[in-house]
Structure 1
Amino acid sequence: MVFSQKEIKSPRWTLIEINVICVISIVLIFGSLAECNLDYLAINCRKHSAVLTDFGGVGDGKTSNTKAFNTAITKLSQYANDGGAQLIVPPGKWLTGSFNLTSHFTLFLQKGAVILGSQDESQWPQLPPLPSYGRGRDAPGPRFSSLIFGTHLTDVIITGNNGTIDGQGSYWWDKFHNKQLKITRPYMIEILYSDQIQISNLTLINSPSWFVHPTYSSNIIIKGLTILAPVDSPNTDGIDPDSSTNVRIEDNYIVSGDDCIAIKSGWDQYGIKFGKPSKQIIIRRLTCISPDSAMIALGSEMSGGIENVRVEDVTAINTESAVRIKSAVGRGGYVKDIFVKGVKLNTILRYVFWLTGSYGDHPDNGFDPKALPKITGIIFRDVIAKNVTVAGQLEGISNDPFTGICISNVTIELSELKKKKKLPWNCTDVSGVTSNVVPKPCDLLSEKKIECPFPTDKLAIEDVQFKTCNIKSSVF
């Protein structure tokens, strides 16, 4: 099937609101024909289109569609060099195990479509550990493939009219809590060694572990996601760019049992050897709820380096900490040139500012105790926080202090209980400056009349424009 398309560059993307016109015609004798026109925005449009039911898909929530997804994507891969193809997932509940994407391809979930992750382990192929980690996160050795997986791809889009992907993670969480995992749990979406990735306008719920994990990849846009997991679910990070470059994360709402966003780049000696940093990342217009973790974490796996990260216009509610840097002796690597501004916080359960040099979780005993991380150039400005337990916990490493910290224009209101207790700031092995910060920071951060800098240039990924694409499909 071929559909017409308009490739009009759009200067902005209106979230959630997608122009949908669906005309239902009832054709006597031949049955009912549903003909839908739907416009959506994407980095690229597709010439060819098919529906999952064309390949035997059954949306009853019980029938396995693993074969249907894999058959459809294999068939559509032949159009990669002829304008690309998209696979439409119509309304229904589509139970499936892991399946792999292809290049120049769009997976589109219509409104009312729900992809359900299978709880049958035989539906999840096993993969070797990531080379920058050296082992699985839950257990040594292999790991399960993610629900939606891709490697060595170019131009891959996962989007929809707010369709849903449900990882049905409770099966995996129970195994984790009962220490029954011999293989690392699957993620929901993982794309490796790829370029030009878009993940947008979807609701993602109950991932077995991390939700969105672009790794060793570049030119990534993650936009307009609603990510939901119980706040006590284990390791359900929302978005984790890992050893990736040119990443744009914007307009997302995340409720999580772990960090809402965590930027990573490999674990101890494995990450040092692999040597691929995460850099040129912008995060904006994020809302996070995570009582046991951070709104945004850098690390703890940061051995390949993290640099040039820009965070602006973000909100955390009932969250453990705002922006947290996690590192340790043995990590090596670096975190540098981190810029954060325009932060609104309400009910921070531990620390607004939290820099940790003793996050000592190691993959094995092979790490180098002389591999010290370099943490420098950490900028925070324009922060308003209410009902806070502690303003800051800044803990560097002895003989390896965290340097170049700048904090300006910050107002923190401590909770009534905290006002009667210990100092609002705790600092060791750090250096830097502050300006117009309430309550007064620790003496290691000298007071100086200064406005902490924030870059005025744009990252290349910010200039990527979207095309208006169209689906015209006929479903009998």
Structure 2
Amino acid sequence: MKFIRIIGGTLPLFIGLTSVAAAQDRREVTEPVVPSACTTLHAEKFVADDRKLSDADESKPDTRLIQAALDHCAQGKAVELAASPGKNAFMSGPLQVPDGVTLLIGKGVTLYASRNPADYDYLSARGVCGTSEATERKFGEAAAAPEGLRSISGPSKPMGCQALISIIDAKNAAVMGEGTIDGGGDMQLIGRDYSWWQMARKAEPGNKKYYSVKLIVARNADGLVLYGITLHNSPNYHVTVNNTNGFTAWGVHLQTPTVAHTDARNTDGIDPGSSTNITIAHSWIDNEDDNIAIKTGVTHMSVLHNHFYSGHGMSIGSETYSGVSNLLVDDLVEDHTTSGIRIKSNVTRGGPVHDLVYQNICMRDVQVPIAISPYYNNGTIDQFFDPGFKGTRIPDYKAITLRNISVMTPGDVLIAGADESHRTAVSLENVTIAGIQPALVHIKLADITHARSNIPFGGQPADLKFVPASVPAPATPYSCEGKFLPMR
């Protein structure tokens, strides 16, 4: 048997390998290496034992100290944050990582995000960050969408909130280390009677505007690397990457919330958009929203050897208007996510999605293991009917292969096309779902190549078409022995 080298391992050369090889990061990606330090900053003020810094402590941030070190660091080197006797934490407002520089969070060290919302304001819009249409404080009017605002689309102006860490117009920058970055989304803000997450949740009815903080934002950041870092409790999305050629996330440990029964909102894990040549590998994501959400304009992406826990699964969308293509998801374990393989859009924001390969995937306690939907209605779980939206950006899903998928518990399957001119085309190869019943299968306007799957398609509507090449045969469940592991 022949093999093709894939990041972190090998894959057997099956029939159809050409499509697998095309649907992935085109770079030769290997495990990143931590650079040597240009300078080491030792913690002098804070201890991270209970995650709480006093209001007085919040007036003594390390922002200027860390930023000055980053600005004066030579390319190819790292600014290391290290513990000292009795001190193991730093606290900062927004930081910018420049060309070729690594921010290295040392083992046992926590970098806390400032709880003062004013620290994240742009100079042109003071007093906006940390407000919403649903809070009693005066809400800052925005001319267009700020970086931290979820509910408005369109060109951004310097309004709203800066990210804690920004990599903008900087190549080969990185965030690495065995330490932790904690966004404090659950903690009460300075000068407010609510936390970031409470503000976001209060704004949810009516989809009201609010200004919040993301943990890491990258744009025009070719060669970006996240390696080994632990990310906790982001106020909003943890990582967004846009307009970037070459992004690697390897060994990222992302857990939110870290305090049981805390209500987090809009805390996506890793969201790439308008980018190419992306690899997310050997990572652990537990975050109560999309574990990974691929946004519009992404091509040639590999998602390899990852574990997902609470969250909305391996998602594409909801914006796909400029297209998503050439994706390989291999060796993924999803443990009690709401969805498993999820492609979500609708006629107001859809577009072409094609050449996707999902293989060697294990799931358990997943409500909707397969959701390929043109019906997205802002819900956590995809509805099984057309909401009747009107629009001209029609989702069009083609050349989607699901291979060696084992789901250990019953769950729904949704495979739907938007209309007769935009039918969804899916190939199922050795897909098994334990306890699957006809009532759990929702198919409409779909062309399915069906080989070795236990999904019962009997009784589906007449607009379901089996491709002539279909060869139904008994499935042999892909082995998930030893795959389900505790979150790390």
Partner of 1:69: 66
Instruction: Write out per-residue CA displacement over residues 279-302 of structure 1, whole angstroms, 9 at most, x where no aligned residue.
Output: 100001111112xx5320000022
For 1:246, the equivalent position in structure 2 comes to 277
- TM-score by length of structure 1 reads 0.74
The residue number in structure 2 matching 1:229 is 256
- On the 8 A contact 1:51/1:90 being kept in 2, the answer is yes
Deviations 1:23-56 (A, max 9, x none): xxxxxxxxxxxxxxxxx9636845x611234xx9
Aligned to 1:184: 211
CA pair 355-238 structure 1, distance change in 2 beyond 3 A? same
Deviations 1:391-440 (A, max 9, x none): x11222124433321111011112xxx75xx6231111221211111132
Corresponding residue number in structure 2 for 1:372: 394
Aligned residues: CA RMSD: 3.1
Q: Determine the C-alpha separation between the residues in 1 that align with 2:392 and 2:442.
A: 26
Deviation at 1:132, TM superposition (A): 10
Q: In the alignment, what sits opposite 1:282? A: 302
Query: Contact between 1:406 and 1:432, CA under 8 Å: does it hold in 2?
Result: yes
Residue in 1 aligned with 2:444? 428
Instruction: Report deviation, 1:13.
Output: 7.3
1:368 & 1:222 partners in 2: Cα distance? Answer: 37
Aligned to 2:265, what secondary structure does the other structure show? Answer: coil
Residue type at the aligned position of 1:387: T
Are 2:429 and 1:408 equivalent residues in the alignment? yes
Q: Please state if 1:210 is matched with 2:233.
A: no
> In structure 2, how many angstroms separate the alpha carbons of the residues matched to 1:412 and 1:108?
43
Q: Which amino acid aligns with 2:317?
A: G
Deviation at 1:131, TM superposition (A): 9.5
Give aligned pairs, total. Answer: 383
CA distance in 2, matches of 1:251, 1:243: 23
- Deviation for aligned residue 1:176: 0.9
Q: Specify the code of the residue in structure 2 equivalent to 1:386.
A: M
Q: Percent identity?
A: 22
What displacement does 1:175 show?
0.7
**Partner letter of residue 305 of structure 1?**
G
Higher strand share: 1
Larger RCO: 1 or 2 (CA < 8 Å, sep 6+): 1
Residues 98, 170 of structure 2: 8 Å contact kept: yes
Structure 1's 86 and 13: CA in aligned 2 closer, same or farther, altered over 3 A? farther
* Residues in 1 aligned to 2:419 and 2:377: alpha-carbon distance in whole angstroms: 14
* Deviation (angstroms), 1:361: 5.5
Q: Residues 118-137 of structure 1 correspond to what in structure 2 (within 5 A)?
A: 118-126=114-122, 136-137=149-150
> Compared with structure 1, are the counterparts of its residues 114 and 330 closer, same or farther at alpha carbon in structure 2 (3 Å cutoff)?
same
Task: Determine the C-alpha separation between the residues in 1 that align with 2:361 and 2:103.
Answer: 34
Alpha-carbon separation, structure 2, partners of 1:412 and 1:93: 46
1:153 is matched with: 170
In 2, Cα distance between equivalents of 1:153 and 1:385: 42
Q: Does 1:51 align with 2:37?
A: no
SS of corresponding position for 1:71: helix
Match of 1:167 among 183, 194, 216: 183
Residues 404 and 431, structure 1, Cα contact 8 Å, conserved in 2 = yes
Match of 1:259 among 281, 290, 298: 290
Q: Which amino acid aligns with 2:103?
A: L
- Residues 242-297 of structure 1 deviation map (CA, whole Å, 9 limit, x = unaligned): 111000100011111111111002xxxxxxxxxxx20100001111112xx53200
Moved more, 304-313 or 131-140: 131-140
Q: Secondary structure at the match of 2:392?
A: coil
CA distance in structure 2 between the aligned counterparts of 1:206 and 1:371, rounded to whole angstroms: 34
1:194 paired to 2:221: yes
2:415 alignment partner AA: L
Change (3 A) 1:301 1:380: same
CA distance in 1, matches of 2:179, 2:341: 30
